[in-house]
Amino acid sequence: MFGDPTRTDRTAETRQRLVKRVWLRTGRPWASGHRSRTYGLWGPDRQFVRGEAGVKCEQKAAGEPRTLGGVLVYVCDGRGPPLASERDAADIIGDAFGSGAKVVVIPIERLGPGFLTLSTRIAGEVIQKFVNYGFRVVFLGDVSAAVAESRALRDFIHESNRGRHVWFVTNVLALESRLAAEA
């Protein structure tokens, strides 16, 4: 708005170079581990793109929309970054909003360490984030080993599967039949 716009562009490019250099050295955009809304957390799932507005960082989608049981769902890739915090959930929610789906399917392989340990409260915070944004979330895969270790987790999964917002299913066929029954 004020001042020389080319100076602002040069300043932004300098900042981009600095952040990229710090990320290459430390694996984080800033030495303190700060996640900037402007630049994001850069990693192997993101790429630099030079466009009309200068250099920017774009994240590759970590999933794809599909139709299962007559319902549009966003299926996360099992090889994506682990789901270990509310911020990771927010990234998936953003991708799901872009696809237009109201159901998000997350493979069990994608869950971060401690997710299925209810005392860490990670599962509750992540699930609450999805529900607050109006998404149904489905965890796809076998959780029998974790269920065998925790009675509380077994009860949580049982109660979740009785509801409409959170499901734990073992395979795609079970998910498809459940979605078809609800549609």
pLDDT-based confidence at residue 38 (cuts at 50, 70, 90): very low
Confidence band for 63, pLDDT divided at 50, 70 and 90: confident
Decide: 65 and 76 in contact? Cβ < 8 Å: no
Check residue 61 and report its DSSP letter.
P
Largest CA distance in the chain: 64
Residue 133 in tokens: 């944004």
According to the model, what pLDDT value does residue 20 have? Answer: 61
Residue of 63 and 28 predicted with greater confidence: 63
Question: Model pTM?
Answer: 0.67
pLDDT tens, 112-147? Answer: 999 999 999 999 999 999 999 999 999 999 999 999
Q: What is the mean pLDDT of the chain?
A: 79
* 8-21 pLDDT per residue, tens: 455 666 666 655 65
Judge whether residue 52 has pLDDT over 60.
no
Of 114, 110, 124, nearest in space to 74 by CA: 110
Is 111 exposed, middle or buried, given 0-12, 13-18 or 19+ CB atoms closer than 10 A?
buried
DSSP string, the chain: --S-HHHHHHHHHHHHHHHHHHHHHHSSSSTT----TTT---STTEEEEEETTEEEEEEPPSEEEEEETTEEEEEEPTTS--B-SHHHHHHHHHHHHHHT-SEEEEEGGGBPTTTT-GGG-HHHHHHHHHHHTT-EEEEES--HHHHHH-HHHHHHHHHHHHSSSEEEESSHHHHHHHHHHH-
Domains defined for the chain, CATH in brackets: 5-59 (no CATH), 63-182 (3.30.750)
What is the rounded distance in angstroms from the CA atom of residue 170 to the CA atom of residue 9? Answer: 50
Does the pLDDT value for residue 44 go beyond 70? Answer: no
